[in-house]
Chains A and B, each alone.
Chain A
Amino acid sequence: MASRQEVIPAARRAAGKARVRAGFFLAALAALCCLGGCISLPQSEALRASPPAGLPPRVELTQVPFHLQDDFLCGPASLAMVFNAAGVSSASVESLTPMVYLPGRQGSLQAEMLGATRRTGLVAYTLAPQLEDVLREVAAGTPVVVLLNLALKLVPVWHYAVIVGYDLEKREVIVRSAKRARDEWSFGFLEFFWQESGYWSMLALAPGRVPATAREADFAAAVAALEQAGRRLEARESYRALLARWPDNLVGLIGLGNVEYTLQDMAAAERAFRRASEAHPQSAIAFNNLAHVLAVLGRLADAESAARSAVALEGPALPEARKTLEAILARRHPP
């Protein structure tokens, strides 16, 4: 693909017939390579063969602002764009650079892109490595950050860009990248540079939003990571959204209960842990945490029975469950 581009203008300039012929030959070979699999673009080809069903033919999220980036700052700039789109209007390249840019690497690591998203109070969600999923998220109104390798596998030049639109008919995505606020790239062009990151892409979601292409376990883990990063209020909202979609998700139920517990809403915490213990009677953690909440509420007999269930289930939570039971017994029968 790249070779075809450079050959055509050169061949035009070339005086000798031989050069023109060589140019055509090279172009033909390059085209053959594309078809034959030397440059394999399986996803764009699959989309060409069968366009995804249920997507609007053309979407452009014009409301996503553009942040111009100075040298090496595509990480903070890409995040600023998607954070603004998620409702964090104060996010800018200046405010995000200290959160994500790593001077010694002159760039931003993927994990830190996710970490900075959580520190901003948004859910960081990595998509399945599928162009179609990116299109579905854009169609649902969420811009997507992609990681590209602009150079060779051995000498990579990594770069983040933001996909803000697509056109199924023209088979193009609309991209904000580097110093350009709006570029149109063919699906194949994107895929060629995107492949080597393992088709890595991420979303920054406002609390309470569920991705259009959400996978249950991955989204639950993404919300749990937000809780772990200390953003409990935002995590609570997203746990609720997760449970509205998948009411029995264990991570969601335990996570919601834990957040309510730390926020001192013991009634809500009890509800969450009780639902967890009913939907997952094999979860020692659900019973252990339920026992804690009941003990705080002063219902020591119920607490003891929940703690006994937790101990009976054994498993990796056993040491904690034993401690819980001992503490409750000590309170019920003071020496």
Chain B
Amino acid sequence: MSTSFVRLISRLLIVCLIGLPFQVNAGMIGTDEVVSAAQAQVARATVLSQISRADVAGQLQSLGLTAQAATDRVAALTDTEVAKLAGQIESLPAGADAGSLLLLILVGVLIWWLVVRK
């Protein structure tokens, strides 16, 4: 009993420690906004935008789009958005369907609980 409680408490503490940085982030909202506004102005002035556009269009193509579709899509983005996408298309959030994945998460939570219960 006591060992399982110790385990339980240590697991929860780990979760708490991982969670702590969020608290800090949540208070820091205002600064991001100021920075991004300033960045947007700098980005608009850069001559590099055409190069990044071709670059991003190429990356979109490698992820399954036709050349035409990729060019059309990039044309609808701002310089700031293109700059953000360049080189990061693989890692930026891509929203997908939740139905089956939610089930996976529930199963994961169940397993986690079973482990904790032991």
Nearest residue in B to A129 (C-beta to C-beta)?
A: B29
Asked if A313 is an interface residue, CB under 8 A from chain B, the answer is no
Tell me if A102 and B64 are in contact (CB < 8 A): yes
Q: Mark B6-37, 1 if CB is under 8 A from A, else 0.
A: 00110010011011101100110100110001
> In the bound complex, do residue A107 and residue B96 qualify as a contact, i.e. CB atoms below 8 Å apart?
yes
Pick from A22, A102, A195: contact of B63, CB below 8 A.
A102
Partner of A71, one of B12, B82, B100: B100
Interface residues of A in 40-76 (CB under 8 A from B): 40, 42-43, 69-75
Q: Does B98 contact A (CB under 8 A)?
A: yes
Residues of chain B within 8 A of A38, CB atoms compared: 12, 15-16, 19-20
Bound-state Cα–Cα, A7 to B12, Å? 14
Are A72 and B93 CB-contacts (below 8 A) given A115-B73, A119-B76?
A: no
Measured between beta carbons, the chain B residues less than 8 angstroms from A130 are: 29
Is there contact, CB below 8 Å, between A40 and B22?
yes
Q: In the bound complex, how far is the Cα of B5 from the Cα of A111, in angstroms?
A: 46
Q: Is the CB of A26 within 8 A of B94?
A: no
Cβ contact within 8 Å between B15 and A105: no
Complex Cα distance, B22 from A36, in Å, reads 13
- The verdict on B67 contacting chain A, using a C-beta distance below 8 Å, is no
Residues A103 and B63 in contact in the complex (CB < 8 Å), given A72-B97, A150-B105: yes
Query: In the assembled complex, how far is the CB of residue A70 from the closest CB belonging to chain B, in whole angstroms?
Result: 7
B40 within 8 A of A: yes
The CA of A197 and the CA of B15, in the complex, are separated in Å by 20
Q: Is the CB of A69 within 8 A of B19?
A: no
Cβ of B48 < 8 Å from any Cβ of A? no
Residue interface bits B40-66, CB-to-A below 8 A is 1, else 0:
100001000000000000001011110
Instruction: Give 1 or 0 for each of B67-79: 1 = CB within 8 Å of chain A CB.
Output: 0010011111110
Chain A residues with CB under 8 Å of chain B are 2-3, 6-7, 10, 18-19, 22, 25-26, 29, 33, 36-40, 42-43, 69-75, 78, 98-99, 102-116, 118-119, 128-130, 147, 149-151, 153, 156-161, 177-179, 195, 197-199, 217-218, 221, 224-225, 228-230, 316
Chain A to chain B contacts (Cβ below 8 Å), 29 pairs: A6-B109, A26-B8, A29-B9, A29-B12, A33-B19, A37-B20, A40-B26, A42-B23, A72-B96, A74-B96, A103-B65, A104-B62, A104-B64, A105-B90, A107-B94, A108-B95, A110-B93, A111-B85, A115-B73, A116-B73, A150-B98, A150-B101, A150-B102, A157-B96, A157-B98, A177-B98, A195-B22, A228-B78, A229-B75
Closest 7 CB pairs of A and B: A104-B63, A107-B94, A103-B64, A115-B76, A107-B96, A105-B94, A38-B16
